[in-house]
Amino acid sequence: MTGWDKADQPNPPRYRIVNVFLFTVRFLAMGLIIYGLLVLFLLVRLLEWPWRKRAFSPFITQWVCHLSLKVMGLKVNRLGQQLKTQHVIVSNHVSWLDIFVHNSLQPTVFVAKSEISEWVGIALLAKATGTVFIKRDPRDAIQQSAVIVERLRRGDPLLFFPEGTSTDGLRVLKFKSTLFASFLAPDVRKGLQIQPVTLRYCPEADLPPSFYGFWGDETLASSLFKVLGSNKNGTVDYIYHRPLKVTDFTDRKELALACESLVRDGLAQANDGVSAQTEMKPISDLNTG
């Protein structure tokens, strides 16, 4: 992890017998779910291949993530209205948990940093689900944009994290605008909409509010043990904001700022106990607790 705030670091997990037991059971259960259903997923992908479309396999991914969240004891409260036509989702980034949360609610193709394609175990899953890998190098910006535009032409439901890093979940960092340029391409911008989403993790009262965050010098192994070994059940609010029409913007920075403002305001208002939109109300509760 690359720390963005060294002043406040995650507390190291406590290794108690009950936590070790819970971690072991949950880790094994999630392994069986993820890699067991991966076989089914690959068989379905083989059948889909002649049509070059993912008609059924995304729903297997959705079910895998739903079951995994259930194992972890994390309940997802879905708020607002999801756009039904083709669109791109942009979201704040809190943790590796975000991948499970997003995927559990709708078919999703993530735009992720290229380093993930080299992570043992995770790389196979990411590639199988169609993840778009990009390099964080301005020299590759034109090439990366072309890849994203091609995915948009194919109708892929893209999702990316414009902050560029995960956080403690208590704030929203400045959105990087580079990838937003792809959405302004002449052959895809017409009719394209972006729907900002706010993720707000809520641990139980006796845990720190940043419990589910993954930032600073914390390792993935430490974060996995912390979450899977916890005997507490948390929740995450999944807040859909009003979609933005790309044709209403002429500049990538302006578009990025508009998305950032909606996501940040959504988090602030949710923390204050106020609905992020006046018309917002729960449309489903994915009870994974």
Per-residue pLDDT tens digits of the chain, which is 289 residues long: 444 554 566 666 677 898 999 999 999 999 999 888 888 888 888 887 776 677 778 888 889 999 999 999 999 999 999 998 889 999 999 999 999 999 999 888 888 877 776 665 666 677 777 788 887 666 666 777 888 888 888 888 899 999 988 999 999 999 999 889 899 988 888 889 999 999 999 999 888 999 999 988 888 889 999 999 999 889 999 999 999 999 999 999 999 999 999 999 999 999 887 544 433 443 333 333 3
Q: What is the pTM of this model?
A: 0.86
Q: Residues 109, 85: contact at Cβ < 8 Å? A: no
| Residue 155 CB neighbour total at 10 angstroms | 11
Sorted by where each begins, the domain ranges of the chain are 17-286
- In the three-class reduction of DSSP (H, G, I as helix; E, B as strand; rest coil), residue 278 is classed as coil
Q: Which long-range contacts (CB under 8 A, 24 or more apart) does 276-284 make?
A: 276/79, 276/80, 276/198, 276/239, 276/241, 277/80, 277/241, 277/242, 280/79, 280/80, 280/239, 281/79, 282/77, 282/78, 282/79, 283/78, 283/79, 283/80, 283/81, 283/82, 284/78
Strand partners, 78: 238, 284
Q: Residues 92, 16: contact at Cβ < 8 Å? A: no
